[in-house]
Amino acid sequence: MSAAVERHLDKAFAALDDVSVRELEATAAVLMRRKDCLGDFYSVFSGVAAARLGGWLARFHLGQAVSSRQAEDLVEWIAEAPAPFWAHVRDALAERHP
């Protein structure tokens, strides 16, 4: 992944700094039930929650989601999402898939 994409992923994770583990786990649970391209993001949110307890997989899962073949569909799904996390994911997608 390019350095520009990596910077956007860093910002996406920073946007989750003030989100509680409980909220991250709840978001992961909701996303896990989805059957669209957003469903793949459940592992990012559960990974961030786990990372606060010593895990590291969230970064890997976010990079995979941004690099996936479904990234073009993802842009449409998160186009209007107001949370800062999604804004940074949109920026990473724009860098990765110009």
Please state the pTM of the whole predicted model. Answer: 0.60
Buried/exposed 10-24: b ≥16 CB within 10 Å, e otherwise: ebbbebbeebeeeeb
Q: Which domain holds residue 15?
A: 3-96
Q: Which of 3, 73, 87, 82 is nearest to 40 (CA)?
A: 73
pLDDT at 25: 92
Specify the number of domains making up the chain. Answer: 1
The answer to whether the CB of 48 falls within 8 A of the CB of 24 is yes
- Give the number of C-alpha atoms closer than 13 A to the C-alpha of residue 1, restricted to the C-beta side: 23
Q: Tens place of pLDDT for every residue, the chain, 98 residues? A: 788 889 998 999 899 999 998 999 999 999 999 888 888 889 889 988 888 876 667 777 777 877 776 777 777 778 888 788 888 888 888 887 76
